Amino acid sequence: MNDLSDYRKSYDKSELLESNIPEDPINLFNRWFHEVEDHGGDSEVNAMTLSTIGLDGFPRARVVLLKKFSEEGFIFYTNYNSEKGKAILENDKVCLSFFWHTMERQVIIKGVATKTSEMISDNYFDSRPDGSKLGAIASNQSEVVSSREVLETTLLKLEKEFSNTPISRPEYWGGFIVSPSEVEFWQGRPNRLHDRIRYIFQNDQSWKIDRLAP
């Protein structure tokens, strides 16, 4: 057995106090996101863990990339026929989490995921490099594939097929927007007395703010 008991770290880079937070969690998320971005060290600040309940009833988590956020929610893109796509279409309750180790921060977001409009999906797909567009078409995401060569051969065929043709978004590929119902901000603090501030969305469109014990 690998004993990791001695893996210890003291968290002392910042604090999260009620006297210095906005009423809206999106504003705080925006502040934290850009502080981490400006601080450097996290090569993909927009990398987040997406957790879903699979068709087999088990939770499953994987890292995806956040592509846009606003008061409406958090947007990422995927193949709707993938494992995560099918899971979300069956059970739209999901969780997003960010871990920014350089700033000793986490953000955990609970919410409901729905498909973005076709226009939003089209606009983002059109902004992608041609290689990424063709990769989305070449891969039957989450399906069993016999070898790497199958994927590369398919991509080569598509490159020839679309060499002089615009590449349109396939209907099975697009965005999801996660509308948050709960957002928790976690700031590492000394002696494991971490700061945890939770926002819960209320029926009157306001956010209830609580401090949680670490």
Q: What does the block give as tokens for 23?
A: 């009423």
Positive or negative, the CA dihedral 56, 61, 63, 64 is positive
**Residue partners of 112: CB distance under 8 A and separation at least 6:** 92, 93, 94, 178, 179, 181
Annotated active-site residue in 148, 192, 196, 198:
192
Nearest to 66 by CA among 164, 163, 148, 175: 175
End-to-end CA distance of the chain: 28
Nearest to 130 by CA among 149, 151, 155, 147: 155
| CA gap 4, 144 in Å, rounded | 35
Is 192 among the catalytic positions? yes
Catalytic positions, please? 192
